[in-house]
Amino acid sequence: MKILFLNGPNLNLLGQREPEIYGNTTLADIEGKVRERAAELKVEVDFRQSNVEGELVGWIQQAKGKFEAIVINAAAYTHTSIALRDAIAASGVPTIEIHLSNVHAREKFRHKSLIAPVCRGQITGFGQKSYILGLEAAIDVKDA
Ligand code: DQA
């Protein structure tokens, strides 16, 4: 099984960015933890980050037929991007939405996710563990 992890804007700054909200862990650290767990579960992962909405859209489009699930932290695009939502719907690849912080406990503009209705589910608020939970959910989605 191959799972595509996508990370949206500013997640390349994890570790330096608002550590009181996002912690001190870098995206590379998180990727390492995901790869460790993926090896235990015997699944393959591809892990990518982009600050560019169109690049994320392209990756979602190309996932069809290559990946059995997508785990996405769309970051701020979660709350703004109809393009990402349409790409997820069009690809038909089962997608899990994840967030480090609990978006529902933060500013009102973060309470709305435009991608949630086209995702299988949402994992939010568990810090870097959200990525591991996302990986496990992606594996379960395939068997569902
Ligand atoms: C985030 C939450 C978003 O609201 C925010 O724009 C991010 C990160 C999270 O992982 O908690 O950049 O997706």
pLDDT at 81: 98
pLDDT at 143: 62
Instruction: Tell me the C-alpha distance between 91 and 83, whole Å.
Output: 12
pLDDT at 63: 98
C-alpha of residue 115 to centroid of ligand 1, in Å: 13
Residue 79 falls in the annotated catalytic set = no
Return per-residue pLDDT of the chain as tens, 144 residues: 999 999 999 999 999 999 999 999 999 999 999 999 999 999 999 999 999 999 999 999 999 999 999 999 999 999 999 999 999 999 999 999 999 999 999 999 999 999 999 999 999 999 999 999 999 999 998 666
CA-closest candidate to residue 69, choices 48, 93, 91, 37 = 93
Residue written as tokens 């912080």?
A: 101
pLDDT at 87: 98
pLDDT at 58: 98
Tell which one of 13, 17, 101 to mutate to probe ligand 1, the residue whose CB is within 8 A of the most ligand atoms.
101
Residue 22 falls in the annotated catalytic set = yes
pLDDT at 60: 98
**Domain annotation for the chain: domains and CATH numbers:** 2-143 (3.40.50.9100)
pLDDT at 51: 98
The pTM of this model reads: 0.97
CA dihedral 101, 105, 110, 112 (to 10 degrees): 120
> Torsions phi, psi of 60, nearest 5?
-65, -45
Ligand 1 pocket at CB < 6 A = 10, 73, 75-76, 78, 99-101, 103, 110
pLDDT at 144: 62
